């Protein structure tokens, strides 16, 4: 499987310039009071379409 994410295209405008940003508020595990983890948004610099949202430290939720 040749699925390198260096070659991404925006589904909305087909642009290929992306930037990452984090939200103001971290996301927190529901079941514990441990500190949360940042949400990282990857968005198109051309039209603003969010290509992905991921959690910075998913292992905190195990």
- Minimum Å gap between C-beta 5 and Zn ion is 16
24 phi/psi in degrees, rounded to 5: -65, -40
Q: How far apart are CA 35 and CA 58, in angstroms?
A: 12
DSSP for 36-59, please give it: -B-EEEEEETTT--EEEEEES-GG
Number of residues that bind Zn ion (CB under 5 A): 8
- Minimum Å gap between C-beta 42 and Zn ion is 11
For Zn ion, which is the closer residue by CB, 8 or 49?
49
Q: Provide the binding-site residues for Zn ion, judged by CB under 5 A.
A: 10, 12-13, 15, 44, 46-47, 49
């Amino acid at each position: 499987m040749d699925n390198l994410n260096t070659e991404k295209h925006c589904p909305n405008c087909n642009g290929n310039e992306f930037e990452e940003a984090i939200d103001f508020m971290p996301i927190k595990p529901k079941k514990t009071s441990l500190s949360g983890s940042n949400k990282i948004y990857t968005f198109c610099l051309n039209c603003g379409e969010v290509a992905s949202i991921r959690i910075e430290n998913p292992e905190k939720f195990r």
